[in-house]
Chain A
Amino acid sequence: MKAAQFDYVKPKTLSEALDLLVETGDDARLMAGGQTLLATLNMRLSEPSILIDITGITELKGISVQGESLRIGALVTHTEIEDSDLVAKHAPLLKLAVPHIAHRAIRNLGTWGGSLAYGDPAAEWPACSITLQATMIIRGPSGERRIGAEDFFIDLYTTSLEPDEILVATEIPIASKDQISYFNELARRHGDYAVAGIAAVAKKSGDVLRDCVFTFFSVGATPVVATKAQALIDGQELNDQLIKEAVEIARSEIEAIADLTNSAEAKQHLIGVLLERCLKDMLAQK
């Protein structure tokens, strides 16, 4: 199908974009990579009267190290993350996750910030941002504010962003030397949305994991952290018995929600499958 009529404007600066958002109100949609938005426009699931294309705003671009943080601009594409040495070094989890995002032609345009701001429960970046304890940097008419990823995702496709705000960048604490990562998602075909997925990190010494975070996605309205399973694993010697217990706890502490094609029971089961694979992989990692 073809999109309905809309107007198009491409501001050059962030303040210009913020002014436009206020001027145009509910009729406007911000466009970054457009890899979700343009599909919904073509299908007429969404009919804004004006698109504000923010891809010309330099302030929203670039990956850099700032002190103890890795700063990823909202307009950084999935491909830039895939090809970045800084990301490989300081946030290796993202490197593991990126091949799961759609396909190269889509990764070439789709953005880090677009995915976070859209808040799709089946998307990879929201889960990764929670696992890595990212801080969202947001600009609005009254200035800048910061919010942790764990508080940013509120509900299905709903974040703490106000209609007049723009996500500018995120800051991720640089990975410590003993940090290990695991990412996996189960999908019908490579590149499809996940039936269920996991984004995990831990600090490893010997066979003991500490400061672990196990975030599951595509199982609820937002990514879900398995806090009880984390507490069980934390500081204990990891072995088959402990893995078995953690799997049971994760399955009971998370209440999965069905989607159009997969039942809640199937997802509940897959949470355990993913955690088991994750822990066995982490046990084997050096």
Chain B
Amino acid sequence: MSLKKKISMTVNGEAVSAEIDPRRHLVDFLREDLFLKGPHLGCEQGACGACTVKVNGQIIRGCLFLAVQADGSIVETIEGATKSGALEDLQNAFMRHNAMQCGFCSSGMLLAAAELIEKQPHATRAQVREWISGNYCRCTGYHSIVNAIVDVLSARANA
């Protein structure tokens, strides 16, 4: 007996339908079935944050969310967020501050940072550090990432 379920959702603004095994988590679905390679798969147990994507406007761990749970949802990955231009200043700040080396954490880091800027536009440096504590970076030592986010927070506050 097949366990496959029919699902449909909006991914980066486009309607998507598929038939998938319930055990397929959202990031495998995005990467392997839709060929969206922006969300990365690091630990697959919710610790590293590399798989961060947005579902219905909120960041989530893509490895701790099943594709079948996303049925009827609006999903956004770094590809969609880049295309829309919503992260442009953040992405520029990451480049300016050299806030990446290998880039494995960057898509998750950017989406997490974007939600912080949206929810806490007056966040302090300490709050920025606390917020991104859910996203691991093994290259930068975090300072350049925090600098980039703090920069965007103050630029937006003064805009």
Contact with A along B16-55 (1 / 0, CB 8 A): 0000011101001000000000000000111001001000
Chain B interface residue count, CB cutoff 8 Å, equals: 31
Any A CB within 8 A of the CB of B63: yes
Partner among A38, A53, A79, A104 whose Cβ is within 8 Å of the Cβ of B63 = A38
Is there a chain B Cβ closer than 8 Å to A99's Cβ? yes
Q: CB < 8 Å: which of A7, A39, A108 contacts B46?
A: A39
Q: Report Cα–Cα, A191/B60, bound state, in Å.
A: 15
Total residues of chain A contacting the partner, CB 8 A: 30
Complex contact A42–B3 (CB within 8 A):
no
Contact B64 A38 (CB under 8 A): yes
Chain A residues positioned under 8 Å from B60 (CB to CB): 105, 108-109
Chain B residues with Cβ below 8 Å from A5 are 3, 21, 23
Instruction: Write out the residue numbers on chain A whose beta carbons fall within 8 Å of the beta carbon of B61.
Output: 35, 105-106, 109
Q: In the complex, which residues of chain B have a beta carbon less than 8 angstroms from the beta carbon of A102?
A: 46, 134
- Check if A129 is an interface residue, CB within 8 A of chain B: no
The docked-state distance in angstroms from the alpha carbon of A6 to that of B68 is 12
* Contact indicator B115/A38 (Cβ below 8 Å): no
CB-CB under 8 A from A99, the residues of chain B are 130
* A contact face: mostly helix, strand, loop, or mixed: loop
Interface residue B154 (Cβ < 8 Å from any Cβ of A)? no
Q: Flag if A6 contacts B22 (CB, 8 Å).
A: yes
Cβ–Cβ < 8 Å partners of A6 in chain B: 3, 22-23
B22 touches A7 (CB 8 A): yes
Q: Is A42 within 8 A of B45, CB to CB?
A: yes
Q: Check: A244 CB closer than 8 A to any chain B CB.
A: no
CA of A104 to CA of B116, assembled, Å: 9
Q: Does residue A8 face the partner (Cβ distance < 8 Å to B)?
A: yes
**A286 interface hit (Cβ, 8 Å):** no
Q: Which residues of chain A come closer than 8 Å to B45, judged between CB atoms?
A: 39, 42-43
CB nearest to A51 among chain B residues: B22
CA distance A55 to B58 in the complex (A): 16
- List residues of chain B with CB within 8 A of the CB of A4: 23
User: Which B residues between 80 and 110 are near A, CB-CB below 8 angstroms?
Assistant: none
Write out the residue numbers on chain B whose beta carbons fall within 8 Å of the beta carbon of A7: 3, 22
Q: Does B69 contact A (CB under 8 A)?
A: yes
Cβ of B124 to closest chain A Cβ, rounded Å: 13
For the complex, is A189 an interface residue (Cβ under 8 Å from B)? yes
Is residue B78 within 8 Å, beta carbon to beta carbon, of the partner chain? no
Alpha-carbon gap, A96 to B65, bound state (A): 27
Q: Which residue of B lies closest to A79 (CB)?
A: B58
Tell me how far the C-beta of B11 lies from the nearest C-beta in chain A, rounded to whole angstroms. Answer: 18
Which residues from A are CB-within-8-Å of B133? Answer: 103, 189-191
- Asked if B5 lies at the interface with its beta carbon under 8 angstroms from chain A, I say yes
A1, CB-defined interface residue at 8 Å: yes
Given contacts A5-B21, A8-B5, 12 further A-B contacts (CB under 8 A): A1-B44, A3-B23, A5-B3, A5-B23, A6-B22, A7-B3, A38-B63, A39-B64, A99-B130, A103-B134, A105-B112, A108-B60
What are 10 residue pairs bridging A and B, where the CB atoms are less than 8 Å apart in the complex? A35-B61, A38-B25, A38-B64, A39-B45, A41-B23, A42-B45, A104-B131, A105-B134, A106-B134, A190-B133
